[in-house]
């Protein structure tokens, strides 16, 4: 597969994710029982889904730079600094019983910082006149290497990644469950005492 085809695949995935999130949001607003269903789905699968989004984005980013040969610009590097650690942070959080408030906060901070840089990158990529020349002239931040399905440039794919992960972290309630609640489907530890069940 060449870079255009790979970008189309990522673009299609991003488009489906955006449409799914928008439809779920609308349904949750107009139909209260759907809100509970959406919350339940996020509680059950939000942690692993957020990790999966970050892992796919990291793999795609590395493919574009290492296989396709697109050198990352300065703003791309800052976004990588925000997204790559999410794979570790969200991976550990997905494996921890009941999530982790600290890792959730760390994830939200990384997403927030990444989005600040990302939105500026998308702005100067869309409107090159906004670029003040802060990026390296040899690897300008305004270059559009690919446009998946005619719209999703690499920075726009990063936008989708950061927004999806941020929404999953904000909506997920597993960090707030009490100790006596049922275990999460992805929890590695059971409620069985260390010496086995008590008689």
Q: What is the pTM assigned to this prediction? A: 0.83
Distance, CA of 132 to CA of 111 (rounded, Å)? 25
Q: Helix, strand, or coil here: 192?
A: coil
Which of 64, 82, 81 has the alpha carbon at shortest distance from 72?
64
Q: Does residue 192 fall inside a structural domain?
A: no
- Looking at the DSSP bridge assignments, the partners of residue 148 are 152
Q: Does residue 39 fall inside a structural domain?
A: yes
Which of 142, 146, 117 has the alpha carbon at shortest distance from 128?
142
Q: Are the beta carbons of 192 and 141 closer than 8 angstroms?
A: no
Question: pLDDT by residue for the chain (199 residues), tens digit each?
Answer: 889 999 999 999 999 999 999 998 898 889 888 888 888 888 888 889 999 999 999 999 999 999 999 999 999 999 999 999 999 999 999 888 777 888 999 999 999 999 999 999 999 999 999 988 878 888 899 999 999 999 999 999 999 999 999 999 988 877 665 444 455 555 555 454 445 555 5
Which of 189, 192, 199, 187 has the alpha carbon at shortest distance from 94?
187
Q: Does residue 22 fall inside a structural domain?
A: yes
Q: Does residue 181 fall inside a structural domain?
A: no
User: What pLDDT is attached to residue 111?
Assistant: 97
Q: Are the beta carbons of 82 and 110 closer than 8 angstroms?
A: yes
Q: Does residue 75 fall inside a structural domain?
A: yes
**Sign of the Cα pseudo-torsion (37, 39, 44, 48, in order):** positive
Q: Does residue 194 fall inside a structural domain?
A: no
- How far does the chain reach from its first CA to its final CA, in angstroms? 60
- Domain count within the chain: 1
Residue-number span of the structural domain to which 78 is assigned = 3-175
Distance of CA 48 to the CA centre of its chain: 11
Q: Does residue 71 fall inside a structural domain?
A: yes
Q: Does residue 197 fall inside a structural domain?
A: no
């Amino acid at each position: 597969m060449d870079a255009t085809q790979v970008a189309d695949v990522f673009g299609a995935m991003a488009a489906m994710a955006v449409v799914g999130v928008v439809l779920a949001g609308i349904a949750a607003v107009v139909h209260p029982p759907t809100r509970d269903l959406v919350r339940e789905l996020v509680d059950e699968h939000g942690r692993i889904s957020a990790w999966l989004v970050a892992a796919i984005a990291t793999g795609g980013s590395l493919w574009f730079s290492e296989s396709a040969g697109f050198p990352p610009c300065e703003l791309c590097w800052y976004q990588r600094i925000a997204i790559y650690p999410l794979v570790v942070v969200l991976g550990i959080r997905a494996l921890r019983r009941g999530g982790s408030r600290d890792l959730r906060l760390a994830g939200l901070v990384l997403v927030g910082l990444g989005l600040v840089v990302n939105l500026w990158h998308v702005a100067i990529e869309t409107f090159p006149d906004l670029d003040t020349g802060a990026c390296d002239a040899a690897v300008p931040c305004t270059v559009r290497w690919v446009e998946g399905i005619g719209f999703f440039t690499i920075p726009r794919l990063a936008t989708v990644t950061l927004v999806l992960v941020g929404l999953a972290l904000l909506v997920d309630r597993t960090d707030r469950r009490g100790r006596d609640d049922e275990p999460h489907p992805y929890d590695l530890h059971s409620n069985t005492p260390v010496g086995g069940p008590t008689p």
